[in-house]
Every structure is written in structure tokens, then in C-alpha cells.
């Protein structure tokens, strides 16, 4: 049975998975790069944007699980694809927003973007196809499972989307990275999830880099 | 120079230092004993209430710092001493509430209880004296430092009190224990402390018990 997985979901000590004031200049708002600095220091993070080098230690071992061969599709929230809410503006085909990731995004699978404003799919280089759907977590997962062809489905974030899938009890494995910063404001991951520990075995591993890797495995 | 220290401050993964619905039957409200189970499994925790045995590992090593010989006074919030707010009821001398800790509380020093309703001090066995003061964090600390006679001052909690001392930048060393439960509601430790990492070096150590010890050392 294929699994539904979350990887590299970075949160602050005070539980925020993204900051306030998201924009094209600041996709994580006032959080800046603080939540993901640990990842960009790993070999995985460097390679994701065409770089080389980077750490091969604990953080990298966890990070690489994000993109293993078992992943056949991703589901992401609209906020991960585009930082503003409301209908899509008509920018014309030339100016159309295609995500943050350049012409060859690091997904290489179908990606389902949850939005109340569906629009035509966008096919990118390297196998990534963005589909824009207005669907419940369960319905989106059914579509993604079908697209994944028996492989696993990654819930790619952000925190609101992951929280909704947790609340609907649709996640099998979750890897959260707690970064030692206090953002003070933004979008919390943990709201509305009282008693989540009853459904998951939780392990914690502190990294020499200062982050703590938390893994949740459904019982 | 004496230090101002916090030890064994237990919080949930979602950052709550105590639950909701505090009462005499449930001093941590709906959190029950979930936040402190790790401590009661240690030799330190067992001895605190007259027991013996208990773990001698990582959790115990951290826990024992709470009560070392360097501590000369404690400051605690009213909610740690008595779970209800408002004026003290007149229960008569015989029925007077003297805290949760029995006739010989595990403090053995002066303890300053922050309250908007001052009342006469209470002298207990074993050196603990409860003083009830209406004071700002800085003024309370001045009193506690004087009473501590050059030794360290412990800020004993709860989360509201520790948060106020952090906001006033009065804490030198803080040990927080993150327990893998999601309480969903209660009193958060981290509210209003955006950017705290700029003032502290933060270390994380994961324990085999499942909790994560976070230490904050002022720069």
C-alpha cells in the first residue's frame, strides 16, 4: 500500500510553519530563510537548486527522504505555489506564474495545487505537471493516488494544508524539522490537533546543526 | 554574579506549559500528568516526593539542576501556588492553603509568589518560606536576589511568569523540556517572544525517553 508522507516541514520553536506578510519577494514572509537554512546547507538542498557540495550528515539523511523514488505525486496548498489569495490575475501566457522553482521544478511528478480557483494545468520540464483543483483533502488524495500509479503521495505543505490532512487522518508518515527560532507570528502547524500523539509514534532526534527532527509514524 | 535560572519547564509540542481548567484536583488542568511524566520517572522526581529509585540517565541529569545548592530563592506565579484567580478566600488558619507540596516543600529557600493580592508570609518546615508580593518582574527579582544571599534565583513557573521574565530580559539560563504531546489549549510559553534566539544560544538534546531538552544560555 502506498503511503502519504510529509518531509522537511520546517517549523519554528513556537510552531509556525511560515511567517506573516508573504509576497513574491518573501515566500515565507518575515521568516525569511530562517526556517530552511538547515536544508540549504545539506547536499540535498544544494542539489535541489543545481548546486553541489553541502552536508552529508544527519540533516541530509532526513532531507533526502523528501524526494526518493517512491514518490509519485505531490499535493500542495495554494500558498506554496503563489503567495497571494483570491482569483488568479490574468498575466497573459508570457508572464504566467509557474511557481518558484524555475523551468524544471524539483518535483518530477504530477503536483496537485489546492485552490478555490481552478485553472488549466501547466506542464513543466522534467515531468512536473501542476494541476489546480478545488477539492477536499480526501478527494485530492484520491486524485493524487491515481496519478501516482501505486507510488507514495507527498503532502508538500504549507502548514495549513498539512494540518488539514492531519485533521482528516490522511497522513501515514510525517517528518517535521523544528528550528531554534521564535517567529512570533505566521501560520501555526499544530492548531486544532489536540491528542495527535494518540495516533502516531513520535521520535525526536537532535542534530548537531541545532534543529530537531521529529518523525510521526502512524500506529 | 548570581544567575537567574529556569529548570524543568515542561511544554507540549504545541508550546503549552499548562492546560486548561486548572483546579485543586488538576493543577495542570486537562494536561494531567502528561507534561511531567518524564520527571516523575527520574531519581530526582521520585525523591522530590519522598520516593526512591527512578532513572539516573539524561533526564535525571537535567532535572537535578533544578534543585542544586546554588539556588537561594524561587519566584513563582500565583497559578503555581494556587490554581484559582482573584482574592484569597478566608479559610481560617486551620484550613489555610499552603501549596501542593506538603508540610516540607521541596524548595528549602524563600519563595516569592507573585500575586495581585498580597497576604502574610507562611513559614514551612525545611526552610521554605512563602512570601506573597505584588511586584514587577524586576522588583520581584531584586527582592529574591537579596533573600538568596548571593546564590542563584530560580524562576519556578508557570509559563506566564517565565514568559514575563523572558520578555523583561531577566533570565540567564533556561531549561525547557518539550514533551511529545499536543495539548491543543492552555497557556503558551512562547507568545510575544519573537526573536528570542537573538539573545540566547540554544541547544537541543533528544532523550531516549522521547522528550527533548532545550537549553537557552544568554549571550
Residue among B108, B116, B110, B22 at smallest CA distance from B78: B116
Query: Where residue B158 sits, what CATH number does that domain have?
Result: 3.40.430.10
Which A residues, 121 through 180, put their C-beta within 8 Å of a C-beta on chain B? 178, 180
Q: What ipTM did this prediction achieve?
A: 0.93
When CB atoms are compared, the residue of B14, B202, B212 closest to A204 is B212
- The β-bridge relationship of strands A110-114 and A71-77 is parallel
- Give the integer Cα–Cα distance in Å for A94 and A66: 31
Residue B94 lies in a domain: no
pLDDT digits (tens, 9 = 90+) for B113-163: 999 999 999 999 999 999 999 999 999 999 999 999 999 999 999 999 999
Residue A212 lies in a domain: yes
Average model confidence (pLDDT) for chain B? 95
Asked if the model's pLDDT at residue B89 lies above 90, the reply is no
Q: In what order do the strands lie in the sheet with B122-123?
A: B122-123, B129-133, B110-114, B71-77, B152-157, B4-12, B173-179, B212-218, B200-206
- Give the integer Cα–Cα distance in Å for A107 and B148: 60
pLDDT digits (tens, 9 = 90+) for A176-198: 999 999 999 999 999 999 999 99
User: What pLDDT, on a 0 to 100 scale, did the predictor assign at position A154?
Assistant: 98
Residue B178 lies in a domain: yes
pLDDT digits (tens, 9 = 90+) for A22-50: 998 999 999 999 999 999 999 999 998 78
The total domain count for chain A is 1
Chain B nearest C-alpha distance from A189 (Å):
9
- The β-bridge relationship of strands B173-179 and B212-218 is antiparallel
Residue A9 lies in a domain: yes
Contact with chain B for residue A184, Cβ under 8 A = yes
Asked if the model's pLDDT at residue A84 lies above 90, the reply is no
**Dihedral angle at the C-alpha atoms of A119, A125, A128, A134, nearest 10 degrees?**
0
Q: Domain range spanning residue B120?
A: 4-85+99-218
User: What pLDDT, on a 0 to 100 scale, did the predictor assign at position B112?
Assistant: 98
Determine whether the interchain pair A184/B205 forms a contact, defined as Cβ–Cβ distance below 8 Å. no
Contact list in A for residue B215 (CB cut-off 8 A) is none
Determine whether the interchain pair A180/B214 forms a contact, defined as Cβ–Cβ distance below 8 Å. yes
Residue A57 lies in a domain: yes
pLDDT digits (tens, 9 = 90+) for A64-76: 999 888 999 999 9
A18 SS3 class: strand
Determine whether the interchain pair B212/A210 forms a contact, defined as Cβ–Cβ distance below 8 Å. no
User: Which pLDDT band holds residue B108 (cuts at 50, 70, 90)?
Assistant: very high
Asked if the model's pLDDT at residue A16 lies above 90, the reply is yes
Cell of A155: 503532502
Contact list in A for residue B202 (CB cut-off 8 A) is 13, 180, 210
Residue A80 lies in a domain: yes
- Give the integer Cα–Cα distance in Å for A81 and A78: 5
Which B residues, 10 through 39, put their C-beta within 8 Å of a C-beta on chain A? 13-15
Residue B93 lies in a domain: no
Amino acid at each position: 500500500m502506498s503511503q502519504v508522507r510529509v518531509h522537511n516541514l520546517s517549523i519554528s520553536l513556537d510552531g509556525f510553519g511560515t511567517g506573516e506578510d508573504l509576497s513574491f519577494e518573501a515566500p515565507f514572509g518575515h521568516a525569511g530563510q530562517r526556517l530552511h537554512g538547515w536544508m540549504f546547507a545539506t547536499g540535498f538542498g544544494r542539489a535541489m537548486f543545481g548546486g553541489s557540495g553541502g552536508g552529508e550528515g544527519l540533516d541530509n539523511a532526513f532531507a533526502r527522504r523528501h524526494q526518493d523514488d517512491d514518490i509519485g505525486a505531490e499535493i500542495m496548498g495554494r500558498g506554496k505555489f503563489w503567495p497571494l489569495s483570491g482569483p488568479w490575475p490574468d498575466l497573459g501566457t508570457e508572464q504566467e506564474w509557474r511557481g518558484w522553482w524555475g523551468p524544471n521544478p524539483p518535483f518530477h511528478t504530477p503536483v496537485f495545487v489546492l485552490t478555490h480557483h481552478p485553472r488549466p494545468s501547466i506542464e513543466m520540464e522534467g515531468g512536473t505537471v501542476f494541476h489546480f483543483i478545488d477539492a477536499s483533502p480526501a478527494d485530492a488524495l484520491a486524485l493524487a493516488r491515481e496519478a501516482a500509479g501505486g507510488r507514495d503521495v507527498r503532502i508538500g505543505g504549507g502548514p495549513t494544508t498539512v494540518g488539514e490532512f492531519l485533521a482528516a487522518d490522511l497522513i501515514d508518515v510525517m517528518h517535521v524539522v523544528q528550528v531554534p527560532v521564535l517567529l512570533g507570528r505566521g501560520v501555526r502547524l499544530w492548531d486544532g490537533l489536540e491528542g495527535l500523539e494518540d495516533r502516531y509514534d513520535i521520535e525526536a532526534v537532535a542534530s548537531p546543526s541545532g534543529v530537531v527532527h521529529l518523525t510521526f509514524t502512524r500506529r
